[in-house]
Structure formats: structure tokens, C-alpha cells
Structure 1
């Protein structure tokens, strides 16, 4: 005679092929919202719905997950900056100003907490893999801005790029401190003045 006893339902397991993506998506949300150190591994495992062994298979250390998170953020933010610049038209001078439209979009987003790389740098000691990754990101963005400045004919492209990068970072921070998306417009207007002066036109 077959047993009619009710069996306790077993929790659904995440397919192996999706586990890494679910972990990274959960980390992306929690790291940005709570900070790198405040978002614990146990919480990420629980909310991603994967087994602990599966988590450590893909990310042996927390810094490995943080680096994967920063890599994802890099792709998203860099893509948004490039798209905003290209939307301004083919003129490199216009693109130097247009890239700031990405800042306006970011500051209006629900749950905005500033630049993920600046936040990560603040939580990571100099010389660590995580801090080095934040520096690499900033250098890459600055190099791209400098290339645009060269194409625009700026007599001092390095100086212009540094100034615009500072305005961009300041706008990212101000959007959090002021809680006002209008800071992005101020940053854009400042960028327009810097580009105009650098290229020899009246601001």
C-alpha cells in the first residue's frame, strides 16, 4: 500500500546556467543601494535564491563579486555616456557637452545614490583590487573625454578633459547631496562654458 503522507515541498533550485546571473543581479541592486560592505554575502545568497556552494563556485571571495559588479556598472555607465554624446551630433565639441545628458538621466532615477565607482573607492583602501578598478574606470572615462577634446581642436585637451571630468564627478555627487536633479543641468551648463572658453569662443 502506497503511503499517503504529505511531503514537505522542497524549495525550487535555480538552474546552474542562471545562478551566476542571479547572484550578480542581486549584488548589483544591494551593493548600490546599501554599499559594498553593508551588503553581506549571506543576504546576497538568500535573495538570489542560490545555494551557498553555488555562490562560492562563481565568487570564491566577496571582492570577486564586487569586481564583477563594478565591471557591470562600467559597461552600463560608459554606454550611457557614449550614447548621450552621440545623440548630441557628430561635432566633438557638442559631444563634450552632450555627454552630460547622461548625468541628468542618472540623477532622476529612483534610488539614485551617486557614482558607484566613487562610492566603491570611498569604501576600499588604496592599493586593493577594488580601489584599483575604480581608478581604472575613471582613467578610461578621462581618456575618452580627452580624445573628444583633441578631436574638437582644444589647444589644451588634457586640461579640458580634467576639468570636465571634475564637473561630471561633482554633478554625480551633487545629485545625491542636494537631492535635486537640477544639479545635472548646472553641470551641463558649466561644461558648455568650459568647452566654449577652451575652444576660443565667448562663453
Structure 2
């Protein structure tokens, strides 16, 4: 699953410099809202701070007051997308109590559908890792933190369903998820979803045997 439309997010995280009451500043929210589709559609490295400033209609002073550097804005973008994905997964878990396999199935179907959508530009976190190879870079750290959470979430669901070697299987499931996002253009969305569900089910059957 990939959440890229930050207009639809209801994340409690405050980005940029807070307002006087400690809440979300409108200018910081606006900058992030404008930057998100630019980052995802054009690439993190390709989009400059000046381009975001122009698109958001803010001054340089306002931009840098909230985000001391473009990298700070990229980190805010990734963490907000991560918050949104965590929120959706938690919603699914609450909707299917005691049925972790259903949560995994919903995730797989969402990935399969999005991975061949017209606006699909890859996983934002994998894109960030490719764009920022330095392991200690804040952007790389933010991306790796999300992927660590994704594996941890899968491990929890697998443990709940009684799977053996849940930690290893979670890595395998995330690898399947990543592979689905790299499928060629000639594979229709329905086939991607079918393949992902089939391979994932095979892993789960083996882990529960």
C-alpha cells in the first residue's frame, strides 16, 4: 500500500515550526501539501526548494523558517506518509480483530491495485533509499524506519496467526511487496494482485504447516 495524497491524511504529527499554540502552522502544512505530489511524481532529488517555494506561493523566509533545508521537508514528507500507512493498517486491524490473514490480504490487494495505477511512481520509501544512499542521512534513516515498522507489523500479524519463523516470513512478504511494485508495464493490475496473493498464500501455508 502506498499513501501519497497528503490532502487526505489526518496525521496528528506537526510538521515544520509549530504555531504559537503548539499546533500545526498553516504555512508549513501548505508547503508539505504542495511538495508531496512533486516529490513523488518528479523525484526527491529533482525537485528543488525553489520549485516548492514557487508552487506553494510562500517566501523563502517562510519556507526556511519551517524547513531549514529541503532535506528537512523530505523527511517530513516521508514521515507523514508513514503515519498515514500506519493509520490505515491499524484501521484494518481494528476492523478484523482476530483475523490477521484478512489484514494481510487487504494489504496485498491494495499494493496490487496501486502498483499498476496510472499515477504509480514506485514505493516512496524505496525511492528515497535509492536517492539517498548515505546510510546516516536523515532521509535514508526516515525511509529505513518505515520499512522496519512494516516488517515488524507483518511479524506481529504472522505471530498472531501462529506462523513459524514469523520474523523470517515477514521479510519474505515485504520482498514480495517490493517485487510487485517493480512488475513490468505489460502485466495488468489484476494479474499483479493475483500473483501477489498466490505467492503470499503459499508462504503462509508453509509457515503454518
C-alpha offsets along residues 124-158 of structure 1, whole Å, 9 cap, x if unaligned?
02221111111111010100100111111112111
CA distance in 2, matches of 1:146, 1:135: 16
Relative to the length of structure 2, the TM-score reads: 0.79
Gaps of 5+ in 2: 1-18, 20-24
Q: CA 1:126–1:178 in structure 2 vs 1: closer, same or farther (change >3 Å)? A: farther
SS of the aligned residue for 2:182 comes to: helix
Residue of structure 2 equivalent to 1:69: 77
Residue of structure 1 equivalent to 2:34: 26
Residue of structure 1 equivalent to 2:154: 145
Indicate yes or no: 2:128 matched with 1:120. Answer: yes
Gaps of 5+ in 1: 1-15
Residue of structure 1 equivalent to 2:48: 40
CA distance in 1, matches of 2:91, 2:109: 9
Q: 1:109 offset after TM fit, Å?
A: 4.1
Which of 105-114 and 32-41 deviates more?
105-114
CA distance in 2, matches of 1:188, 1:84: 17
Indicate yes or no: 2:201 matched with 1:196. Answer: no
Indicate yes or no: 2:171 matched with 1:162. Answer: yes
**Structure ID, larger Rg:** 1
Q: CA 1:172–1:88 in structure 2 vs 1: closer, same or farther (change >3 Å)? A: farther
Cα root mean square deviation, aligned:
2.2
- Higher relative contact order (CA closer than 8 Å, sequence separation 6+): 2
C-alpha offsets along residues 79-137 of structure 1, whole Å, 9 cap, x if unaligned?
34444566666322333333212213423544111100000000002221111111111
Relative to the length of structure 1, the TM-score reads: 0.81
SS of the aligned residue for 1:113 comes to: coil
Q: 1:172 offset after TM fit, Å?
A: 2.2
